[in-house]
């Protein structure tokens, strides 16, 4: 497909989610201000059809919230989520239900993401029923079998319950559920981080194969940089509610520009004793998203800090080669 | 049809056949599983055996006794246990064994209906309140708090007295009792199911259902409800014993169904006058109440042990 | 010079569960020398944490049981010690750091109370002395302005800081042997880096020995000297860190190393190990790994392979090495 304007499947603009933290009634009476947790604070990104965007960051940086905002599982405070040129946030309830078919989620914990009281048949066929994709019982059964086979499970698994499966198998079922409605975009919210290394590799390969076979587009969220490097075409790095750097995976990992990206990469212990030992190139601890100061979120930890950093939050700026960085001191 | 399609169809039917033909087998398996699970707890097994005997007697009442529970026979009053009257006769010459059976039948039926009523109102109430949360939940739960603040026994007395005022008798009187007992159980069910729904709602499968486009009602009732049913069953079982005790207590105080309807509570009350001459008349209804309440409580406690996931691995 | 601090000899741990017996550790043998860091790697359920608990004598019995084997700590068998002797050993000579500091630390006591409690009972310090020592320890593990944080509660600390408090507590009585059970698994990667640096630095400075339990091969590669790889209750490979990463000899170790995605982004497809871990209630006969092994032979189905020395100090339990080297 030629790269046209139509090439962009999902575009997110200024997406924001603020949670107001309500103090108890006494602190209200005392006139204390309510605090605002800026979980996601005005992020922009886009995903081309058929590519994988990796969203990476440490816990609490807002990457999971982003997944839920994009799928409208929670309502954003502000911003736009445009899927195939249409703003999802303006959709009515029935319109949204239809749109849900296009965007599917795979969750982190395969133990809690499958209903323990339902058979695999029910779990995989329910989405098809909701969207009226099947007419007869036989058709339903056939499609479920095909899905199971596609994710590496067999006919003998169809009438079993989730607890009869291992973590890896459950994640395969969760992937099959996501695929059951033929989505265009699959969002993986840490889909391999609960799995053992040997199983994780199987599931990563499965994601790859399915993408090739069905032309899927992925938004892949993870905290493990090696996983992100492996699966993504492009990467976005998040820190406390903001995207600090995006770009093609290879370039971003080979030559990180933002101090935070550099720090993340330097901290990864690689499974090779010959590589340099992991270390932290930042000072202190992760900043809080509760009532953050106006400047750069990395302020106070950054080795390249200057006076402007504390005053103005750096915008995400194009630096060529499809890369964008949010830093005053490049 | 291509070969592959034919293959697929054959495979499909191969799976389909046992799925339908095996329904009976599956039921048998479920029953077998249930018994296997029950044996994990001795308390539950004893309770289960006691309950099976109780329900068996209730169902088989017309076949295991030939006497009329109400017809009086003054020629045979206050007889000790004999071959003719297994547990003897009361002051009206009625067979105690028969009265116990018919009384138990009525009592168990009232308790079952009352608890079912409480569950069928309380569960949807609690589940929906918990699932929707927010203001709906706040209002709904404040109402439940109000109900809980009203003492149960006072409520029963009120209802029974009103029923008497309005001359509600016979089966209608029992229906009023069922309503009162069930209504008093409802708030407890609602709170329990709301609490478990709140915990269950956090699980990712609920989010997954929403992401797939499932409706709220369907998620609450089809996806979440099956997962919260275990603690409710335990609660209901223990409640059954409690309800039986309450009904017996009410009729003991003369507030239940008036004589000559067979009733363990009123029979026990009537037997008090003969405590010194024929103590057995009082003993039998008393024992029957004990047995029933114990059966439900043992079963309920054992069930709690079995269903508690923390004990599952040991 | 190389003095052995801890030696495991054929340690076997079994659990008698309702559903049957489960052998969690089967014939584990390895030794740790003074000043050495030994990494025990394995996936969930491989028995690595149970091994650590057995060393600390923290296996609840019943349902646990240690039917055979010895745990020699400085020459004497821990499994023969009385409960009183064991209490004297724990904390003072052997200390442990857990994965989840939030559940390992008591939420109702302040940090100072918790650490000084051990100091006062074990070392007989006075209240004031203990308090001073706690300040010292907290600054040792890199907690900024320790004086101010003394009377804080555990929940007031961040994840990384909690792990530091755990470490301070473990180090409080100058143990010479430390067991760290997945100490960085719950932490973010930047915090993991600082904690790893802290632990390795501490071991070196205090001349302690460390048993490091983890599932993360990257952590092993940088924090350990010797490595033991566990799979389904068996130690399948044992050797020097560089040897293991450069020349892995057991197919499972090879598979693990091939399963990890690399930061340099080579290899579009990973080569994972096929299948999943065997059911430990009903393990396969012979080598536990044979159902997933691409080199499986007949003998693998029959016989459990023993650990054999392949190169000096490098052992593997695989039938491929029965005749010569593979």
Indicate the helix (H) or strand (E) that contains C76: strand C76-77
With bands split at pLDDT 50, 70 and 90, how would you rate the model's confidence at C325? very low
Beta strands in A49-144 (DSSP E): 52-56, 78-83, 86-87, 103-106
Mean pLDDT of C222-235: 93
Choose among A100, A117, A159: nearest Cβ to B213. Answer: A100
Distances from the Cα of A271 to the Cα of A276, B191, C118, C189, angstroms? 11, 52, 37, 14
State whether residue B82 is helix, strand or coil. coil
Neighbours of chain C (3+ CB pairs under 8 A): A, B
Top-ranked range on mean pLDDT: pick from A242-251, B153-162, C11-20: A242-251
Closest CA to B188 of B135, B231, B223, B220: B231
Q: Which domain holds residue B266?
A: 44-311
Least confident residue range of A139-143, C16-20, C227-231, C312-316? C16-20
B240 and B302 part of one domain: yes
B66 and B139 part of one domain: yes
Q: Please report the pLDDT score of residue A239 as a whole number.
A: 93
Q: Please report the pLDDT score of residue B100 as a whole number.
A: 85
Nearest CA in chain A to B223: A115
CB within 8 Å of A326: residues ≥ 6 apart: A242, A243, A244, A245, A258, A296, A313, A314, A315, A316, A317
Kindly report the number of other CB atoms within 10 A of residue B44's CB atom: 23
| A177 neighbourhood in chain B, CB within 8 Å | 208, 212
Residue A307, token pair as written in the block: 């006076």
**Is B20 a residue whose pLDDT tops 60?**
no
B30 and B51 part of one domain: no
Nearest CA in chain B to C15: B314
B203–A141 CB contact, under 8 Å: no
With bands split at pLDDT 50, 70 and 90, how would you rate the model's confidence at B101? confident
**Is C256 a residue whose pLDDT tops 60?**
yes
B142 and B55 part of one domain: yes
- Check residues A216 and A59 and name the one with the higher pLDDT: A216
B40–C17 CB contact, under 8 Å: no
Per the CB < 8 A criterion, the answer to whether C263 and A226 are in contact is yes
Q: How close C293 gets to chain A, by Cα (Å)?
A: 12
Mean pLDDT of C154-166: 85
Q: How close C17 gets to chain B, by Cα (Å)?
A: 6
Closest CA to B264 of B96, B15, B62, B38: B96
Q: Please report the pLDDT score of residue C107 as a whole number.
A: 83
CA distance C169 to C55: 19
Mean pLDDT of A34-53: 92
Q: ipTM score here? A: 0.86
Q: Please report the pLDDT score of residue B18 as a whole number.
A: 42
**Is B74 a residue whose pLDDT tops 50?**
yes
Mean pLDDT of C158-179: 87
B23 and B50 part of one domain: no
CA distance C129 to C123: 11
Per residue in B106-146, pLDDT (tens digit) is 889 999 999 999 999 999 999 999 998 888 899 999 999 99
Alpha helices in C173-321 (DSSP H): 189-206, 217-223, 241-246, 251-259, 298-302
B28 and B105 part of one domain: no
**Is A291 a residue whose pLDDT tops 80?**
yes
With bands split at pLDDT 50, 70 and 90, how would you rate the model's confidence at B312? very low
Per the CB < 8 A criterion, the answer to whether C250 and C236 are in contact is yes
Per residue in A188-242, pLDDT (tens digit) is 999 999 899 889 999 999 999 999 999 999 999 999 999 999 999 999 999 999 9
Q: How close A15 gets to chain C, by Cα (Å)?
A: 25
Q: Please report the pLDDT score of residue B4 as a whole number.
A: 44
Kindly report the number of other CB atoms within 10 A of residue C128's CB atom: 9
**Is C326 a residue whose pLDDT tops 60?**
no
Closest CA to C182 of C59, C39, C31: C39
CA distance B297 to B304: 10
CB within 8 Å of C220: residues ≥ 6 apart: A271, C39, C41, C212, C214, C227, C241
B178 and B29 part of one domain: no
B83 and B30 part of one domain: no
Kindly report the number of other CB atoms within 10 A of residue B227's CB atom: 18
Mean pLDDT of C112-117: 87
Mean pLDDT of C146-174: 85
Hey, which residues does C153 pair with through a beta bridge? C110
Q: Please report the pLDDT score of residue A5 as a whole number.
A: 52
Q: Please report the pLDDT score of residue B161 as a whole number.
A: 85
Dihedral, A225, A229, A235, A236 alpha carbons, nearest 10? 0
Q: Please report the pLDDT score of residue B314 as a whole number.
A: 37
A225–C197 CB contact, under 8 Å: no
Q: How close A211 gets to chain B, by Cα (Å)?
A: 19
Q: Please report the pLDDT score of residue B261 as a whole number.
A: 79
| C60 neighbourhood in chain B, CB within 8 Å | none
| A131 neighbourhood in chain B, CB within 8 Å | 213
CA distance B184 to C324: 80
Nearest CA in chain B to A146: B8
B157 and B300 part of one domain: yes
Q: Please report the pLDDT score of residue B14 as a whole number.
A: 43
CB within 8 Å of B183: residues ≥ 6 apart: B117, B118, B121, B155
CB within 8 Å of A275: residues ≥ 6 apart: C221
C261–A249 CB contact, under 8 Å: no
Kindly report the number of other CB atoms within 10 A of residue C246's CB atom: 11
Q: Please report the pLDDT score of residue B21 as a whole number.
A: 43
Average pLDDT, chain C: 88
B149 and B10 part of one domain: no
| B209 neighbourhood in chain A, CB within 8 Å | 115, 126
Which residue's entry shows tokens 């107001």? A20
- Check residues B254 and A244 and name the one with the higher pLDDT: A244
B14 and B150 part of one domain: no
Closest CA to B294 of B224, B240, B250: B240
Residue A226, token pair as written in the block: 């090696």
Mean pLDDT of C220-247: 93
Burial C113-122 (b: 16+ CB within 10 A, else e): bbbbebbeeb
Q: Please report the pLDDT score of residue A124 as a whole number.
A: 94
A205 at C interface, C-beta within 8 A: yes
% of chain C surpassing 70 pLDDT = 97
Which residue's entry shows tokens 């969002």? A187
**Is C140 a residue whose pLDDT tops 50?**
yes
**Overall size of chain A counted in residues:** 330
Average pLDDT, chain B: 81
Least confident residue range of A42-56, A119-133, B49-63, B83-97? B83-97
Number of domains in chain B: 2
**Is C63 a residue whose pLDDT tops 60?**
yes
C17–B314 CB contact, under 8 Å: yes
CA B252 to chain centre: 21
**Overall size of chain C counted in residues:** 326
Interfacial A residues in 273-302 facing B (CB < 8 Å)? none
State whether residue B66 is helix, strand or coil. coil
Closest CA to A17 of A35, A34, A44, A40: A40
Separation of first and last alpha carbons in chain C: 34
With bands split at pLDDT 50, 70 and 90, how would you rate the model's confidence at A25? low
Nearest CA in chain A to B226: A117
**Is B15 a residue whose pLDDT tops 50?**
no
Per the CB < 8 A criterion, the answer to whether A179 and A147 are in contact is yes
Q: Please report the pLDDT score of residue A1 as a whole number.
A: 38
Closest CA to A191 of A63, A70, A96, A91: A63
**Is A256 a residue whose pLDDT tops 90?**
yes
With bands split at pLDDT 50, 70 and 90, how would you rate the model's confidence at B65? confident
**Is C238 a residue whose pLDDT tops 50?**
yes
% of chain C surpassing 90 pLDDT = 35
- Check residues A125 and B13 and name the one with the higher pLDDT: A125
Burial B275-296 (b: 16+ CB within 10 A, else e): eeebeebbebbeebbeebbebb
B146 and B5 part of one domain: no
Q: Which CATH number characterizes residue B240's domain?
A: 1.10.3720.10
Per the CB < 8 A criterion, the answer to whether A191 and A106 are in contact is yes
Kindly report the number of other CB atoms within 10 A of residue A69's CB atom: 25
Edge-to-edge order in the sheet of strand A185-189: A103-106, A185-189, A217-222, A52-56, A234-239, A242-248, A323-325, A317-320
């Amino acid at each position: 497909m030629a790269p046209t304007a139509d090439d962009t499947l999902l575009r997110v603009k200024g997406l924001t989610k603020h949670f107001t933290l309500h103090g108890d009634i006494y602190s209200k009476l005392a006139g204390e201000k309510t605090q605002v947790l800026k979980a996601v604070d005005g992020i922009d990104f886009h995903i081309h059809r058929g590519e994988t965007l990796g969203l990476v960051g440490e816990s609490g940086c807002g990457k999971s919230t982003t997944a839920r905002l994009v799928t409208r599982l929670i309502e954003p405070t502000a911003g736009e989520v445009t899927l195939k040129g249409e703003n999802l946030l303006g959709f009515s309830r029935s319109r949204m239900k239809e749109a849900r078919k296009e965007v599917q989620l795979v969750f982190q914990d395969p133990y809690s993401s499958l209903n323990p009281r339902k058979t695999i048949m029910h779990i995989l066929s329910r989405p098809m029923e909701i969207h009226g994709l099947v007419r007869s019982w036989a058709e339903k059964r056939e499609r479920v079998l095909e899905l199971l086979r596609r994710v590496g499970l067999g006919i003998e698994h169809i009438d079993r319950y989730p607890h009869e499966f291992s973590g890896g198998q459950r994640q395969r079922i969760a992937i099959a559920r996501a695929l059951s409605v033929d989505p265009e975009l699959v969002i993986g919210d840490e889909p391999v981080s609960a799995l053992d290394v040997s199983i994780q590799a199987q599931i990563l390969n499965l994601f790859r194969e399915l993408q090739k076979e069905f032309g899927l587009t992925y938004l892949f969220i993870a905290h493990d940089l090696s996983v992100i490097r492996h699966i993504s075409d492009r990467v976005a790095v998040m820190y406390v509610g903001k995207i600090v750097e995006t770009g093609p995976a290879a370039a971003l990992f080979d030559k990180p520009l933002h101090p935070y990206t550099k720090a993340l990469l330097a901290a990864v212990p690689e499974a090779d004793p010959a590589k340099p030992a992991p270390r932290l190139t930042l000072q202190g601890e992760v900043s809080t998203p509760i009532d953050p100061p106006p400047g750069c979120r990395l302020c106070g930890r950054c080795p390249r800090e200057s006076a402007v950093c504390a005053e103005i939050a750096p915008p995400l700026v194009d630096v060529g080669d499809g890369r964008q960085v949010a830093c005053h001191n490049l | 049809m291509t070969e592959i399609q034919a293959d697929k169809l054959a495979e499909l039917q191969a799976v389909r056949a046992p799925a339908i033909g095996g329904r009976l087998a599956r039921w048998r398996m479920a029953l077998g599983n249930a018994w296997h699970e029950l044996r994990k707890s001795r308390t539950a097994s004893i309770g289960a055996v006691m309950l099976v005997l109780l329900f068996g007697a209730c169902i088989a009442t017309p076949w295991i006794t030939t006497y009329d529970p109400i017809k009086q026979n003054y020629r045979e009053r206050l007889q000790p246990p004999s071959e003719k009257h297994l547990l003897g006769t009361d002051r009206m010459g009625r067979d105690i064994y028969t009265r116990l059976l018919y009384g138990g039948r009525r009592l168990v039926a009232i308790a079952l209906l009352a608890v079912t009523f409480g569950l069928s109102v309380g569960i949807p109430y609690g589940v929906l309140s918990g699932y929707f949360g927010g203001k709906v939940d706040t209002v709904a739960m404040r109402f439940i708090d109000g109900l809980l603040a009203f003492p149960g026994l006072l409520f029963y007395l009120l209802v029974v007295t009103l029923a008497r005022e309005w001359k509600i008798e016979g089966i209608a009187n029992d229906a009023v009792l069922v309503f009162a007992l069930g209504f008093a159980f409802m708030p407890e069910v609602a709170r329990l199911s709301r609490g478990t729904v709140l915990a269950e709602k956090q699980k990712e499968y609920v989010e997954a259902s929403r992401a797939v486009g499932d409706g709220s009602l369907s998620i609450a009732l089809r996806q979440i409800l099956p997962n919260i049913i275990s603690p409710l069953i335990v609660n209901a079982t223990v409640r059954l014993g409690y309800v039986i005790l309450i009904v017996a207590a009410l009729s003991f105080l003369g507030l239940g169904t008036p004589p000559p309807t067979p009733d363990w509570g009123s029979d026990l009350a009537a037997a008090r006058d003969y405590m010194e001459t024929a103590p057995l008349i009082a003993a039998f209804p008393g024992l029957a109440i004990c047995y029933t309440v114990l059966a439900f409580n043992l079963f309920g406690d054992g069930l709690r042990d079995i269903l508690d996931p923390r004990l599952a691995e040991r | 010079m190389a003095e052995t601090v801890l030696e495991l000899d054929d340690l076997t741990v079994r659990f008698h569960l309702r559903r049957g017996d489960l052998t969690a550790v089967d014939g584990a043998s390895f030794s740790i020398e003074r000043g050495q860091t030994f990494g025990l790697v394995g996936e969930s359920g491989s028995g690595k944490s149970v091994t650590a608990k057995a060393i600390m004598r923290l296996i609840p019995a019943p349902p646990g049981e240690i039917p055979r084997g010895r745990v020699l700590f400085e020459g004497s068998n821990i499994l023969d010690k009385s409960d009183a002797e064991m209490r004297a050993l724990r904390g003072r000579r052997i200390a442990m750091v857990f994965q989840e500091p939030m559940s390992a630390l008591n939420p109702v006591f302040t940090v100072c109370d918790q650490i000084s409690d051990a100091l006062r009972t074990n070392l007989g310090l006075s209240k004031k002395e203990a308090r001073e020592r706690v300040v010292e320890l907290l600054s040792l593990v890199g907690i900024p302005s320790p004086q101010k944080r003394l009377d804080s509660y555990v929940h007031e600390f961040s994840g990384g800081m909690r792990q530091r408090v755990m470490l301070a507590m473990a180090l409080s009585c100058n143990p010479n042997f430390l067991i760290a059970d997945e100490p960085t698994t719950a932490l973010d990667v930047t915090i993991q880096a600082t904690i790893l640096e802290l632990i390795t630095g501490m071991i070196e400075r205090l001349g302690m020995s460390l048993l490091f339990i983890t599932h993360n091969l990257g952590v092993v590669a940088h924090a350990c000297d010797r490595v033991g790889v566990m799979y389904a209750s068996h130690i399948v490979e044992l050797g020097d860190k560089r040897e293991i990463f450069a020349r892995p000899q057991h197919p499972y170790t090879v598979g693990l190393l091939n399963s990890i995605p690399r930061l340099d982004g080579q290899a579009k497809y990973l080569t994972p190990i096929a299948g999943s871990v065997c059911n430990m209630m009903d393990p396969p006969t012979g080598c536990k790994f044979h159902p997933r092994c691409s080199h499986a032979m007949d003998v693998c189905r029959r016989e459990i392979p023993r650990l054999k020395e392949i190169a000096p100090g490098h052992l593997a339990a695989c039938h491929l090495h029965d005749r010569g080297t593979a």
